[in-house]
Amino acid sequence: MANVTEMEISRRGVMAVGAASAMLAPLPAGAQVPAPKAVPVTMKVSLEVNGTRRDLEVDTRTTLLDVLRENLHLTGTKKGCDHGQCGACTVMAGGKRINSCLSLAVMHQGDEIVTIEGLGTPEKLHPMQAAFIKHDGYQCGYCTPGQICSAVAVLAEIKAGIPSHVTAELTARPMVTGAEMRERMSGNICRCGAYSNIVDAMADVAGADIAGVKA
């Protein structure tokens, strides 16, 4: 490092911060070169959202997330990073949880989509929604709809026998344990750090006997 100029050092310093987060999950780059004139293309698509058929005509670039929020005004699904890193946009498509920000609306022709609004209502909460309230599984609440959609899917995935990184025996059925739930929820980031209460809520719904859970 003896003959590195001050500018290079500061560039390295700046990149070190940006780069560390990029390796965990890259962040969007800054300003872009102004786009040359290109013609937006629209297409028809129909989705089955929370049990109702919705016929739309959208720009091909529109993500499932933006269709839900901007076209259908289902604003429960949240936009966090918009790059598949935070999980705030998690919804079910065809019965499976996905990041709605990394999926184009036109790729979901005929698909059944379930959002947080479709899981339950304030009058008739889904058991997972009720458990999040009971166990205080959130603080600011921004990541919560994604956390709840994921949590519901995680219990279904364990039931279906899908293995995870912490499943000890690949050929045995995975169990509902704290370690399994934590690993499977790692695609949902909570900046308030409500994680332990989220696991408690999930254990409560699963009827799991997990050490330390105040069911």
Chain residues binding another protein by CB under 8 A are 1, 8, 11-12, 15-16, 18-20, 22-33, 35, 38-41, 43, 59-61, 63, 82-84, 87, 90, 96-99, 102-104, 106-107, 109, 150, 153-154, 157, 160-165, 167, 170-171, 182-184, 186-188
Pairing of strands 42-49, 112-114: parallel
Residue that is written with structure tokens 């205080």 in the block: 136
Minimum CB distance to another protein smaller for 1 or for 214: 1
Minimum CB distance to ligand FAD smaller for 63 or for 85: 85
H-assigned helices in 25-126: 64-66, 116-119
Minimum CB distance to another protein smaller for 82 or for 215: 82
Which strands, in side-by-side order, build the sheet including 112-114?
52-59, 42-49, 112-114, 90-93, 96-99
Does 129 interact with ligand FAD (rule: CB under 6 A)? Answer: no
> Interaction with ligand FAD in 51-90: which residues (CB under 6 A)?
84-85
Measure the CA–CA gap between 89 and 82, rounded to whole angstroms: 8
| Angstrom distances, CA of residue 211 to CA of 88, 177, 202, 215 | 28, 9, 13, 10
Measure the CA–CA gap between 53 and 5, rounded to whole angstroms: 62
Minimum CB distance to ligand FAD smaller for 25 or for 172: 25
Q: How far is the CB of 160 from another protein (least distance, A)?
A: 8
- The binding site for ligand FAD (CB under 6 A) comprises 25, 84-85
